[in-house]
Structure 1
């Protein structure tokens, strides 16, 4: 294997592999004529052992010594002092199932709380595959596995989930450049009590990656603030994310569908698009509302909708009403 491929498999940065080779002598057994490193199956097995040991809290120098000596890591191995990190074992404890190698590499890095490796894995995935494939095949499966492990292991793995979520959010926001708005944008928001915003952040990044004008308001947007934003912006669609059933409020959808803006005789209404598992058991949508069921399919629907909006033969969208509330302090602005 090449160094880059091995780094993705192990969930470490390539610079980490070079550092381990320089400091601890745990390097590749072969170099080709161009002096490029090539890692044999034996080399890979040693580094996998080292990663398992460091994930259990063993110092890298001791982990390298054990890996090079052929001593197989056991559950009894503990860091100096006789204690192991609370409740954390190997990434193999995560319920990943059948996933891409990049997902396993990301899980390894997250369990070790290796921020640099997590960031490198995420950046490489998005640069290589694009936002949609990276999210559906690599990021989301890892997030779900960590979440399921957290749910069944008391407070264990909560730090893994928080670190991974932070870097996913940071990488999504730093990967794309926001385009200018020439047409009514797509508005993305979480429901008023919904704190989980990563899925719509992925949708935002995928839309921006395709050059579509988008506004995102993130987690827990109050219903009144959302209605005010819709009247001011006049979006071509509003996506409402709900992760859990208790945040899926059909009343918010109905209120949005009742809004209108523009000149008399040419009034416009928003298209409301509930998204997320929270809506699965909600009552049927009102007329004028659809539902997004996945990132790829939802993105295709929104792209199709936006092409319709910006078709030259279509009627130009009416200008949204100005902010009906001229006093910004009324909503807590400073």
Structure 2
């Protein structure tokens, strides 16, 4: 197998494999001059053992020595306190049936290997696009960190913080397209008291990729500031994120949905879009909808946006959203 194919199979980056080969001599056993390196099943078995050991918390140098010294495919090169509770050892995240990239990302996060986390995120964003990368790799890994944190007391808080920071940094590196002139924006904010903003950061980034004007106000925007921002920007839609029932505020949602601006007789109100698990199934008033995911939420916002200059409904740019 090629280095790229092995990296995808193991859920690590090709750069990580090259680094392991350079630092710890854990590379292809055979090479032929003038040809790209190829990994045999025995080579891959050693890499799989090294991945399992590093996920268990074994330092990379020690894991490489054990992988090189043990029989290819052997699992017992280093003593373990007991059988692993999940794939990758007792400290691995409970991912379930996921793409290999999730396992590579989770292993790097548990190791607090920020450069590898950043590289894996850049790779999956470039290869799959933001929406698919979020739904199939980033969000499942974040949920696994949350589940591990919930069952491990104060452990893994540092893993969650490092992973969240790297995801936020990767989203902020996505450059938006130029905004069409005189087009009302989408306003995105967390409700007061809500600190979890990553999902609407992802939504803001994908809106920017589509050239949809967006104004992102981040975590815990005070109610008065939220009202002022709506009046000043005149958005066609307002997205309010609430992660938990304790932060979701239906009264605030109703007040935002009732804000008007414009000339008397032609006043306008925004559509209110409630996002996040904190909101209940019921919506608090007219022109209010629930968003249930990045892909479907993007479709809702696009349907509410006014036609771009020079295009009518029939000439609007088509998008494929899926279910």
Q: What is the CA deviation profile of residues 2-55 of structure 1, one whole-angstrom value per residue up to 9, with x for unaligned ones?
A: 222333444444233223223322101355775212222221221122233334
Q: Give the structure with the larger helix fraction.
A: 1
The residue that corresponds to 2:318 in the other structure is none
Measured after TM superposition, the shift of residue 74 of structure 1 is 6.5
Q: What is the CA deviation profile of residues 60-108 of structure 1, one whole-angstrom value per residue up to 9, with x for unaligned ones?
A: 3332221011163467459xxxxxxxxxx84873211111111111111
Measured after TM superposition, the shift of residue 155 of structure 1 is 1.3
Equivalent runs, 1:257-272 vs 2, <5 Å: 257-272=257-272
The residue that corresponds to 1:233 in the other structure is 233
CA distance in 1, matches of 2:135, 2:309: 28
Does the 8 Å contact 2:191/2:247 carry over to 1?
yes
Does the 8 Å contact 1:173/1:205 carry over to 2?
yes
CA distance in 2, matches of 1:232, 1:91: 52
The residue that corresponds to 1:72 in the other structure is 75
The residue that corresponds to 1:301 in the other structure is 300
CA distance in 1, matches of 2:214, 2:268: 18
Does the 8 Å contact 1:236/1:309 carry over to 2?
no
SS at match of 1:247: coil
The residue that corresponds to 1:153 in the other structure is 152
Does the 8 Å contact 2:196/2:243 carry over to 1?
yes
The residue that corresponds to 1:4 in the other structure is 4
TM-score, normalization by structure 2: 0.86
SS at match of 2:267: coil
The residue that corresponds to 1:276 in the other structure is 276
Does the 8 Å contact 1:190/1:217 carry over to 2?
yes
The residue that corresponds to 2:58 in the other structure is 58
User: Structure 1 residues 101 and 119 mapped into 2: Cα distance closer, same or farther (>3 Å)?
Assistant: same
How many residue pairs get aligned? The number is 303
CA distance in 2, matches of 1:31, 1:119: 30
Which stretches in structure 1 are left out of the alignment for 5+ residues?
Answer: 79-88, 315-334
| RMSD (CA atoms) | 2.4
Equivalent runs, 1:39-50 vs 2, <5 Å: 39-50=39-50
Does the 8 Å contact 1:29/1:38 carry over to 2?
no
Which stretches in structure 2 are left out of the alignment for 5+ residues?
Answer: 82-87, 314-323
SS at match of 1:19: helix
CA distance in 1, matches of 2:185, 2:143: 30
Does the 8 Å contact 1:172/1:205 carry over to 2?
yes
Q: Decide which moves more: 7-16 or 219-228.
A: 7-16
CA distance in 2, matches of 1:35, 1:24: 22
Q: Decide which moves more: 156-165 or 66-75.
A: 66-75
Q: Decide which moves more: 233-242 or 153-162.
A: 153-162
Q: Decide which moves more: 151-160 or 300-309.
A: 300-309
Is residue 2:22 matched to residue 1:22?
A: yes
Q: What is the CA deviation profile of residues 219-254 of structure 1, one whole-angstrom value per residue up to 9, with x for unaligned ones?
A: 101111011001000001000011111111011111
Does the 8 Å contact 1:11/1:118 carry over to 2?
no
Measured after TM superposition, the shift of residue 306 of structure 1 is 1.3
SS at match of 1:160: helix
Does the 8 Å contact 2:124/2:133 carry over to 1?
yes
CA distance in 1, matches of 2:78, 2:245: 39
CA distance in 1, matches of 2:262, 2:106: 49
SS at match of 2:290: coil
Q: What is the CA deviation profile of residues 232-284 of structure 1, one whole-angstrom value per residue up to 9, with x for unaligned ones?
A: 00001000011111111011111112211111121111111111111125x43
CA distance in 1, matches of 2:5, 2:201: 28
